[in-house]
Amino acid sequence: MTFLLAAVIVAVTLAVTFWASRRNTSAGDFYVAGGRISATQNGIAIAGDYMSAASFLGITGLIALNGYDGFMYSVGWFIAYLTVLFIVAEPLRNLGKYTLADMLVYRLKDPRVRTYAAVSTIVISTFYMIAQVVGAGSLISLLSRGAISADLAIPLVGVLMIIYVVVGGMLATTWVQIIKAMLLMFATIVMTVLILNRFGWSFSNMLGVVEAKNGAAFLGAGVKYTNPIDLISLCLALVLGTAGLPHILVRFFTVPTAQDARKSVVWAMVLIGAFYVMTAFMGNAANALLGKGAIEAANKAGNMAAPLLAENLFGGAGTLGGEFGLAFVTAVAFATILAVVAGLTISASTSFTHDIYNGVLKGGQASEKDQFRVARLATVAVGVAAILLGLAAKTQNVAFLVALAFALAASANLPVILFTLFWRRFNATGAMWGIVGGILFTLLLIAISPNIMKIDPDTLTTGRHLIQANAIFPLENPGLISIPAGFLFAYLGTLIGARRHTPEDDRIFEDMQFRAYTGAGVDGTVAAHD
Amino acid sequence: MTVSSAPPAARNAAYQQLVAQRNAFTLTMTVTFLVLYFLLPVLAGYNKPLMAQKVVGNVTFGYVLAFAEFIMGWVMAYIYVVKARTFDRLAQEARA
């Protein structure tokens, strides 16, 4: 039944993709669906981009196995959208066309900045993608109970994702996200209602059962995150990193105006918030109804908690209802994996084609037809690279790559975005220093952290650490150090690159600010401004 | 891209007001939500007994605080949406 439902979802998404392909005629259609997505649709798609399999399966499992700490992790993912709403969404829409680089170059007037911003986008998307693809491999083999091995699942996901993006561009990617987000919300809401029904409509009753099974510590903090500094560092990267994630930023170019960008974030916050609140119910219910032992027996990381919970809620193992519940949630998780990978791919290939191919190599003179062709070739290249990297990394411990992508976005992109918008004296050298310094310093800290350096017992064959030695840098997440360092690099670069501040610099800054704040010169469709 | 999108007339009272109000609002709201949000990991790290304290039935202070953070997020987004109507009006005047 699982295969049948998954096949239905794939068939529907492919149909949408071919419908979208008939409306895709230009590079602007490919990159940002011509800027014609509505605020509501975009909000749902942002929520879809964000609610990955890691959230749905991972956080439910995290709460089921670690109690409160897992839920606390959910909060940061949601609150991060306030940073996006207050600071980034609207100016980005007003200043850019297709990519983050557009916005930076609009202010800094230096084509080199475009290359740096594009490299940053591609680096961050790649790390995020490796985590998703490797995760997809193990999740699909887990969800199919071994029927599809990781070696088969990774190319399968890669090929489907290439078809969505190459054939349907951003319009198809957006609709795949919307379909998946609605299915995920539907599944979560139905499960939550069934859970509440099971526990006499009382969260307190459910926590009572959890406490009786696991002890009081499970309802408080500290089961998973034992080092407070590491926890704060992780929270900082989450809250500041979301506003620098390329696949989220690109979504603001798909709507016509800054007002629509604002409304999209609000819609996304309604959905994402509701979803993460419900993870508290799903995770605790999984613990109360299935027990920690059964969840760990299915998968050590807890990734099977949500599907097994659905099986239990719909009637239990061996019943028709139970089988349907398990199959439905599994198929939704599969759709989630596909949609998120497609979203990442399109942001990487847009950045490559618009910024590097057209912006740098062709001096902005490439024809629409050429860009459209190159964008699709770039997508195939990104997809094939994702498959190969995923296969190469499949036995490594890659869960930290998602947190790394957030740390990179917060350390390399956010300082440059903020300085571009608010600091009159900021210059191109500062932007280049900020991006390169932020990326390299974050990667260095990760390389010497316990994510990479750890001594594993000889018996461990999968998920081994790359360097078998004690870590030099103690924190798992580098945000607490790397984010201030990112700001410092951008600041120092600005001082080094400073010429005498001229009236022309003031004029450029004020011009940028006027456009960022009022939307003057932005008329809503992508062909209009440049 | 080098053509200025800001005509001289734009440096008008409405625009000055927009910049001042928007910057003050963004700064206040951002600092407020960061402080309120970081209460959660800081208390989780340094005051575990408080987080495990039961407040309503079996619901601990930790859960109450976490749910409150979600409500705070929605409320702040709503405040911004209301306030943004003023910003949109000023922006329109500034462009005119």
| The predicted structure's pLDDT at residue A399 | 67
Domain count, chain A: 1
Q: Is the pLDDT of residue A527 over 60?
A: no
Nearest CA in chain B to A212: B58
Question: Is residue A50 over pLDDT 80?
Answer: yes
A421-464: pLDDT as tens digits: 999 999 999 999 999 999 999 999 999 998 888 888 887 776 67
Cβ within 8 Å, pair A517-B22: yes
- A257 within some domain: yes
pLDDT in tens, B40-60: 999 999 999 999 999 999 999
What are the distances in angstroms from CA B51 to CA A405, A439, B41?
30, 36, 10
Whether residue B19 and residue A517 make contact (CB cut-off 8 A), yes or no, is yes
Instruction: Give the separation between CA B32 and CA B36, rounded to whole angstroms.
Output: 6
Average pLDDT score over chain A: 90
Question: Is residue B7 over pLDDT 70?
Answer: no
The mean pLDDT of A166-195, rounded to a whole number, is 94
Query: Is the Cβ pair B77, A85 closer than 8 Å?
Result: yes
Instruction: Name the percent of chain A lying above pLDDT 90.
Output: 66
In the block, residue with structure tokens 């190319």: A155
Q: What pLDDT does residue B29 have?
A: 97
Is B68 contained in some domain?
yes
Amino acid in the structure at residue B50: L
A21-47: per-residue pLDDT in tens? 988 888 889 999 989 999 999 999 999
pLDDT band, residue A397 (cuts 50/70/90):
low
Q: For residue A87, which residues of chain B lie inside 8 Å, CB to CB?
A: 26, 30
Determine, yes or no, domain membership for A83: yes
- 3-state secondary structure (DSSP) of residue B5: coil
CB contact under 8 A, A207 and B59: yes
Report residue A253 as tokens. Answer: 């170019």
For residue B4, tell me if it sits in a domain: no
A396 phi/psi in degrees, rounded to 5:
-80, 160
User: For residue A523, what pLDDT is reported?
Assistant: 59
Asked if residue B59 is part of any domain, the answer here is yes
Of A85, A203, A521, the CB nearest to B5: A521
Question: How far does the CA of residue A272 sit from the closest CA of chain B (Å)?
Answer: 10
Q: Report if residue A528 sits inside a domain.
A: no
Full domain range(s) for residue A398: 2-518
Chain B residues inside the 8 Å CB shell of A226:
none
- Express each pLDDT in A132-154 by its tens digit: 888 888 888 888 888 888 899 99
Lowest mean pLDDT among A185-189, A204-208, A390-394, A411-415: A390-394
Does B15 contact A82 at a Cβ distance shorter than 8 Å? no
Does residue A281 fall inside a structural domain?
A: yes
In this predicted structure, the answer to whether residue B3 has a pLDDT above a threshold of 80 is: no
Which of B10, B41, B76 is closest, CB to CB, to A82?
B76
**Among B15, B58, B73, beta carbon nearest to A207:** B58
Q: Which of A211, A216, A518 comes nearest B94 by C-beta?
A: A518
The C-alpha angle A217, A463, A444, rounded to 5 degrees, equals 90
Within a domain: residue B13?
Answer: yes
Q: Which two tokens stand for residue A462?
A: 């999968």
Q: What is the CATH number of the domain that holds A429?
A: 1.20.1730.10
d(CA A423, CA A417): 10
pLDDT tens for each residue of A259-317: 999 999 999 999 999 999 999 999 999 999 999 999 999 888 888 999 999 999 999 98
Chain B residue with Cα closest to A262 = B81
pLDDT for the residue A529: 37
Whole-Å CA distances, B36 to A79, A527, B59, B73: 10, 42, 20, 10
Going by pLDDT thresholds of 50, 70 and 90, the confidence category of residue A337 is: confident
Contact assignment for A204 to B56 by CB distance below 8 Å = yes
pTM of structure? 0.92
Domain count, chain B: 1
Q: Which residue on chain B is closest to A218 by alpha carbon?
A: B52
CA-wise closest residue to A178 among A102, A256, A254 = A254
B63–A514 C-beta distance less than 8 A: no
* Contact flag B57-A68 (C-beta cutoff 8 Å): no
Tell whether the model's pLDDT for residue B26 goes beyond 80: yes
Quick check: is B2 in a domain? no
What CA–CA distance (Å, rounded) separates A249 from A416?
A: 14
pLDDT for B10 beyond 70: no
**In this predicted complex, what is the ipTM?**
0.92
Residues 6+ apart with CB under 8 A from A287: A63, A64, A65, A67, A210, A213, A214, A218, A295
**Cβ <8 Å between A106 and B10:** no
Query: Which residue from B10, B49, B69 is facing A79, i.e. has the nearest CB?
Result: B69
What pLDDT score was predicted for residue A525? 46
* Preferred mutation among B4, B50, B58 to probe A, highest tally of A CBs within 10 A: B58
Instruction: Please answer yes or no on whether A75 and B40 come within 8 Å at the CB atom.
Output: yes
Which of A202, A266, A277 shows the shortest C-beta gap to B70?
A277
Domain limits for position B15? 9-95
| String of DSSP letters for A142-161 | HHTTTSS-HHHHHHHHHHHH
**A245 in a structural domain:** yes
Quick check: is B81 in a domain? yes
Residues A463-489: pLDDT tens digits? Answer: 677 788 888 999 989 999 999 999 999
pLDDT tens per residue, range A344-384: 999 999 999 999 999 989 988 999 889 999 999 999 999 99
Contact B70 A78 (CB under 8 A): yes
Say if the Cβ atoms of A219 and B58 lie within 8 Å. yes
